[in-house]
Chain A
């Protein structure tokens, strides 16, 4: 009689054989794209196949993440314990390995960006004080649901903004929704991260994106559903911003 343990041993051998032909595991960026659900079906299948050859990595993706301990629980770090850890972290931050100089450079770039974005925000705010007729909403259809070939949602600006309406369905069992826009080529690079907003009774969710924040190119909008302290990606939508 075939037992589970006998079949498991054969499966381990099969996986070891597959690794020889499949090659290295997918990169963290590929895995992020896989888990956020924004890939074409054939790309997704290829990454899944490579992950299947490395069950330890699948475990890294599927094991539930723990919830935080309450302050009166023994798992909550004491003042003394935290002070010791904090000191070690501060020491690590100040290591003479070029990190502070790098962060100074990042800080300078961030300050310059803040000035530019501040200007853009001020301009947008001035415009938003005036009533405006909205003439075009951009209905977005999720990846994998746009038919064979699945060309991306092409978006065009409505004045100085894009008004995006991702199709989500009305039977969502989540408390809040949150959206992120990432670079389609490098999904680990966020373009914009939105705050969580309560789900409306009819499930409608509209996102206003300043025109200036999306240069011509391809992006991925990922909508997350949040219930309590858990969030899961609901859908992803590939956006193409054409040349102006």
Chain B
């Protein structure tokens, strides 16, 4: 099998599933996902001649993740360097909307509550904090374990510890049930 045949075989096997992978995992539109997939395959095709291993799907996976990673990263970096406006330019900054309900006292109370929760999370030991932050971002136990390079049992144990500490700090014995994934 020559390079073109090998490429064709992988392309036909993976194209549609990679598009879906990008849509579901990176929350991009179908159109963007197709563009990312084509970009990944283009890079794979260009690099194929130099690849000396025999696990091409693994090489494709590395390229596919890198393409997505670089795309998201460049968007994040671009946002940080977004265009600035002159604060004295009255046309540049829209009038702030009138405060909606709830009233000032309720908003103050909500802001204080939010700060208390943020402080409680930030004050956790590193290992437990990382686990609970990822869990709050809807990562599965397996994904958390993979990212932190620990076992799933260690993830569960750290989450239990984190919830216990948070309950104690927030004075909330009934909050954050143990079995909530």
Contacts and interface: CB of A to CB of B under 8 A. Distances in A.
B45 interface: yes
Interface in A79-109: 82, 85-86, 88-89, 92-93, 103
Nearest to A3: B175
A75 B17 contact: yes
Contacts of A116: none
Interface stretch (B83-91, B94-102, B142-150): B142-150
B51 A52 contact: no
A24 B53 contact: no
Interface in B45-79: 45-46, 50-55, 57-58, 61-62, 64-66, 68-70, 72-73, 76-77
Contact of A11 (B51, B121, B126): B121
Given A13-B114, A68-B57, A31 B76 contact: no
Interface residues of A, number: 65
A2 B18 contact: no
Interface in A13-53: 13-15, 17, 24-25, 27-28, 31-32, 37, 45, 48, 51-52
Nearest to B175: A2
A13 to B, nearest CB: 6
A10 B72 contact: no
Contact count band on B: 35 or more
Interface in B127-172: 130, 132-134, 136-137, 139, 143-144, 146-149, 166-167, 170, 172
A226 B56 CA distance: 13
Contacts of B24: 63
Interface of B is mostly: helix
Contacts of A32: 62, 66
Interface stretch (A188-196, A199-207, A212-220): A188-196
B76 A25 contact: yes
A89 B10 CA distance: 14
Contacts of B132: 11
B73 A11 contact: no
Q: Tell which of A15, A63, A180 has the most Cβ of chain B within 10 Å.
A: A63
A148 interface: no
Interface in B5-32: 8, 10-18, 20-21, 24-27
Interface of B: 8, 10-18, 20-21, 24-27, 38, 41-42, 45-46, 50-55, 57-58, 61-62, 64-66, 68-70, 72-73, 76-77, 80, 114, 117-118, 121-122, 126, 130, 132-134, 136-137, 139, 143-144, 146-149, 166-167, 170, 172, 174-176, 180
